[in-house]
């Protein structure tokens, strides 16, 4: 029996899920739509890490990032880990019309380490041309108070990079912010979302009374 369900009806039933975002990526006819979809799927993947943070404490950056890639792959994306794109980039997603989205993932060991990831994205891996002018810094955070860490990182990013401007994203999520600057190669505006993955896990329920 053939179903008469329409694409719009299907998306309505999938609303608020990773499957909806993956389908929106498949159906996207613009780079902006592709960007919104891939970022949303990344959010779901990172939340899976957060939910299971008690099992992630001893994983390396590569191990955590491979789990994100596996999540994206299961939803029909074709992410590549450590692919050669001007160097070994952590996550690479290619799409129609020469779409290219990059992400660099770092454990928060120091702000200098995070700045290295940002500079890798902006000066080594990215082209900065149309459809390839947005990227992501994913920050694996075992600190207490990830909001305070992100506030400090935002200040550090600006102080270490004079040409970079920062701003809040949609919804004003305190665990993420955006930066933009003129890409050194293309001269176009290059935008980066900086996102914390909250992995702090120090339960106190087993402490003797």
Strands 99-107 and 134-141: parallel
User: Of how many residues is the chain composed?
Assistant: 209
* Nearest residue to 42 via CA among 12, 75, 10, 13: 75
The pLDDT value recorded for residue 1 is: 43
Q: How high does pLDDT run on average in the chain?
A: 90
Q: By C-alpha distance, which of 106, 23, 121 is closest to 62?
A: 106
Digit-coded pLDDT (tens) for 176-188: 999 999 999 999 9
pLDDT tens by residue, 11-42: 676 677 888 888 888 888 999 999 999 999 99
- Specify the pLDDT at position 13: 65
What is the domain partition of the chain in residue ranges?
7-198
- Listed in order, strand segments (DSSP E) in the chain are 80-84, 88-95, 99-107, 134-141, 165-167, 176-182, 189-198
- Return the residue matching tokens 């995070």: 114
Give the per-residue pLDDT at 104.
95
Q: What is the pLDDT of residue 7?
A: 72
Low-confidence ranges of the chain (pLDDT < 70): 1-4, 10-11, 13-14, 82-87, 207-209
CA atoms within 13 A on the CB side of 9: 4
Q: Which two tokens stand for residue 114?
A: 């995070």
């Amino acid at each position: 029996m053939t179903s008469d369900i329409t694409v719009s009806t299907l998306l309505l039933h999938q609303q608020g899920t990773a499957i909806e975002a993956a389908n929106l990526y498949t159906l996207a006819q613009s780079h902006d739509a592709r960007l919104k979809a891939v970022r949303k799927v990344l959010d779901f993947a990172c939340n899976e890490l957060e939910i299971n943070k008690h099992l992630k404490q001893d994983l390396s950056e590569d191990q955590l990032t491979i789990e994100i890639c596996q999540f994206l792959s299961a939803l029909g994306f074709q992410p590549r880990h450590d692919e050669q794109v001007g160097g070994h980039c952590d996550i690479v997603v290619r799409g129609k019309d020469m779409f290219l989205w990059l992400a660099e993932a770092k454990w928060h060991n120091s702000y200098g380490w995070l700045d290295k990831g940002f500079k890798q994205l902006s000066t080594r891996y990215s082209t900065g041309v149309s459809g390839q002018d947005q990227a992501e810094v994913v920050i694996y955070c075992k600190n207490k108070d990830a909001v305070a860490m992100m506030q400090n990182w935002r200040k550090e990013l600006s102080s270490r990079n004079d040409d970079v401007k920062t701003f809040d994203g949609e919804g004003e999520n305190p665990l993420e912010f955006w930066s933009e600057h003129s890409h050194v190669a293309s001269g176009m505006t290059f935008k980066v979302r900086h996102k914390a993955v909250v992995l702090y896990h120090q339960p106190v329920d087993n402490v003797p009374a």
